[in-house]
């Protein structure tokens, strides 16, 4: 028997694909019922679900993510990441937009209490100021991930949320984004869009794809909603004293959310207490008041740049729970504000 015949006898890849598609089509009926239960309009369900097909590419991406397979162990160093993300191009572009839209950004800062450079640093990190936002069809990606991904419940809920966006008047053709369902300038998930997106220019659509005003206000609203404290820095670089007893500073709290990220921070101390322990701010002055609480973090270990991080750093982590991400957002914001 030839190879082709063996494959045919076993069902073969084409048959497996057909079976997968049939399973997916059945699953769409469950999603339709779930959408109806959540109050999505029948017209929306009828306009999106028929013709939707399974996308094996997003499942392949999902499986290749960190955490998708066995850990490779070890923490990479922050410095190369910083050089890639806090780069001259991004700094210059952020500074240019800050200068161009200064009044608009100042108004947003007054309204939401979030500094312009922080908002711009998020936009710069998420999509390089809108230069890449993804071209995957969102309903197709989300339904595929809900059917077979590693976080099925999360994506089923995001699928319902993307249908609700259509109910709210978001045009179907806008609904493209990353393979994992994030879209637009700030790379929101649909549920985040529904919760915080803002129509700042007043044209009736919270347009985080092509309106600068809507994009900036939506990011600012996310930050206000997550508890950003006006007037407090995200953190700042410090030099640790020789002989610092690091073991005594270890945190005893275990975070329920992304515990590996929080486990790398020390316990909380006030700025006054850090100063008493011998910390020196690298800027030559203390950018936060004596009573401000902060944790100590050495991304590349003792002897390299260390940081004191305030509660506002946690707000950046709320946006994307990665120390490298949050640190480089903070550092890019600092560069944009220079
Ligand atoms: Ca708008």
Same domain membership, residue 156 and residue 50: yes
Sequence-separated contacts (24+) of 252-256 with Cβ below 8 Å: none
Per the prediction, the chain carries an average pLDDT of 93
Same domain membership, residue 143 and residue 241: no
What is the Å distance from ligand 1's center to 112 Cα?
17
Same domain membership, residue 262 and residue 327: yes
Residue 117 lies in a domain: no
pLDDT at 3: 52
Same domain membership, residue 244 and residue 332: yes
Reference 118, options 216, 187, 201; nearest CA is 216
Reference 239, options 292, 181, 303, 196; nearest CA is 303
Residue 70: band (very low, low, confident or very high) from pLDDT cuts 50, 70, 90: very low
Residue 251 lies in a domain: yes
Average pLDDT over every residue of 10-29 = 86
What confidence tens digit (pLDDT) does each residue in 303-333 have?
A: 899 999 999 999 999 999 999 999 999 999 9
What is the Å distance from ligand 1's center to 47 Cα?
24
What is the Å distance from ligand 1's center to 202 Cα?
5
Distance CA 199, CA 216 (A): 10
Residue 220 lies in a domain: no
Strand order in 269-270's β-sheet? 269-270, 293-297, 306-309, 235-239, 280-281
Bridge partners (DSSP) of residue 308 are 236, 296
Q: Is a pLDDT exceeding 60 seen at residue 7?
A: no
Residue 254 lies in a domain: yes
Residue 286 lies in a domain: yes
Distances (CA, A) of 34 to 20, 147, 158: 21, 13, 12
What is the Å distance from ligand 1's center to 142 Cα?
25
Give the 3-state secondary structure of 150-185.
CCHHHHHHHHHHHHHHHHCCCCHHHCEECCCCCECC
Residue 69: band (very low, low, confident or very high) from pLDDT cuts 50, 70, 90: very low
What is the Å distance from ligand 1's center to 139 Cα?
22
Domain boundary (181, 201, 220) is at: 181
Same domain membership, residue 164 and residue 34: yes
pLDDT at 112: 98
Residue 99 lies in a domain: no
What is the Å distance from ligand 1's center to 179 Cα?
25
Residue 54 lies in a domain: yes
> What CATH number has the domain bearing residue 167?
1.10.8.350
What is the Å distance from ligand 1's center to 122 Cα?
19
Q: Is a pLDDT exceeding 90 seen at residue 189?
A: yes
Same domain membership, residue 171 and residue 255: no
What is the Å distance from ligand 1's center to 267 Cα?
42
Same domain membership, residue 293 and residue 171: no
> How many angstroms from the chain centroid is the CA of residue 85?
15
Q: Rounded to two decimals, what is the model's pTM?
A: 0.92
Helix 152-167 to helix 12-37 angle (10° resolution) is 60
Distances (CA, A) of 258 to 68, 138, 147, 264, 320: 15, 25, 24, 11, 10
Reference 281, options 306, 262, 263, 256; nearest CA is 306
Distance CA 179, CA 164 (A): 19
Same domain membership, residue 254 and residue 324: yes
Residue 255 lies in a domain: yes
Average pLDDT over every residue of 245-259 = 87
What is the Å distance from ligand 1's center to 91 Cα?
26
pLDDT at 8: 53
Average pLDDT over every residue of 157-165 = 98
The encoded tokens of residue 197 equal: 């997106």
pLDDT at 303: 87
Same domain membership, residue 329 and residue 252: yes
Same domain membership, residue 268 and residue 159: no
Label the pairing between strands 235-239 and 269-270. unpaired
DSSP 246: G
Same domain membership, residue 285 and residue 166: no
Q: Range of 329's domain? A: 235-336
The encoded tokens of residue 33 equal: 């019922």
What is the Å distance from ligand 1's center to 309 Cα?
34
The encoded tokens of residue 16 equal: 């497996």
What is the Å distance from ligand 1's center to 328 Cα?
29
What is the Å distance from ligand 1's center to 294 Cα?
37
What is the Å distance from ligand 1's center to 129 Cα?
17
What confidence tens digit (pLDDT) does each residue in 99-157 have?
A: 999 999 999 999 999 999 999 999 999 999 999 999 999 999 999 999 998 899 999 99
What is the Å distance from ligand 1's center to 96 Cα?
22
Reference 264, options 2, 34, 33, 78; nearest CA is 78
pLDDT at 16: 82
Residue 252: band (very low, low, confident or very high) from pLDDT cuts 50, 70, 90: confident
Same domain membership, residue 50 and residue 174: yes
Domain total for the chain?
2
Average pLDDT over every residue of 178-188 = 97
What is the Å distance from ligand 1's center to 166 Cα?
15
Q: Is a pLDDT exceeding 50 seen at residue 71?
A: no
What is the Å distance from ligand 1's center to 48 Cα?
24
Residue 13: band (very low, low, confident or very high) from pLDDT cuts 50, 70, 90: confident
What is the Å distance from ligand 1's center to 326 Cα?
28
pLDDT at 11: 62
Q: Is a pLDDT exceeding 60 seen at residue 61?
A: yes
Q: Is a pLDDT exceeding 90 seen at residue 65?
A: no
What is the Å distance from ligand 1's center to 279 Cα?
46
């Amino acid at each position: 028997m030839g190879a082709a015949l063996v494959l045919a006898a076993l069902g073969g890849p084409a048959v497996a694909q057909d079976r997968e598609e049939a399973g997916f089509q059945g699953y769409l009926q469950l999603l339709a019922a779930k959408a109806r239960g959540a109050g999505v309009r029948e017209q929306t369900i009828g306009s999106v679900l028929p013709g939707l097909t399974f996308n094996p590419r997003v499942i392949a991406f999902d499986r290749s993510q960190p955490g998708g397979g066995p850990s490779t162990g070890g923490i990479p160093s922050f410095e190369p990441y910083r050089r890639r993300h806090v780069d001259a191009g991004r700094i210059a572009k952020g500074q240019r937009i800050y200068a161009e839209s200064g009044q608009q950004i100042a108004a947003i800062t007054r309204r939401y209490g979030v500094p312009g450079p922080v908002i711009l640093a998020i936009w710069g990190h998420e999509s390089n100021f809108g230069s890449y936002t993804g071209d995957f069809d969102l309903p197709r990606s989300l339904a595929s991930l809900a059917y077979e991904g590693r976080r099925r419940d999360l994506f089923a809920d995001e699928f319902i949320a993307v249908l609700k966006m259509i109910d709210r008047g978001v045009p179907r053709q806008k609904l493209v984004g990353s393979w994992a369902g994030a879209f637009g300038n700030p790379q929101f998930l649909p549920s985040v869009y529904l919760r915080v997106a803002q129509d700042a220019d007043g044209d009736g659509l919270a347009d985080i794809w092509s309106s600068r005003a809507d994009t900036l206000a939506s990011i600012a609203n996310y930050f206000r909603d997550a508890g950003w404290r006006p007037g407090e820095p995200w953190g700042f670089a410090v030099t640790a004293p020789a002989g610092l007893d690091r073991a005594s500073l270890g945190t005893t709290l275990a975070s329920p959310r992304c515990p590996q990220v929080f486990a790398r921070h020390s316990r909380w101390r006030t700025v006054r207490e850090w100063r008493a322990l011998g910390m020196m701010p690298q800027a030559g002055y203390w950018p936060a008041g004596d009573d401000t609480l902060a944790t100590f973090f050495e991304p590349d270990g003792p002897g390299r740049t260390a940081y004191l991080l305030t509660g506002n750093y946690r707000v950046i982590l709320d946006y994307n729970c990665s120390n490298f991400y949050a640190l480089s957002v903070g550092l890019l914001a600092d560069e944009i504000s220079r």
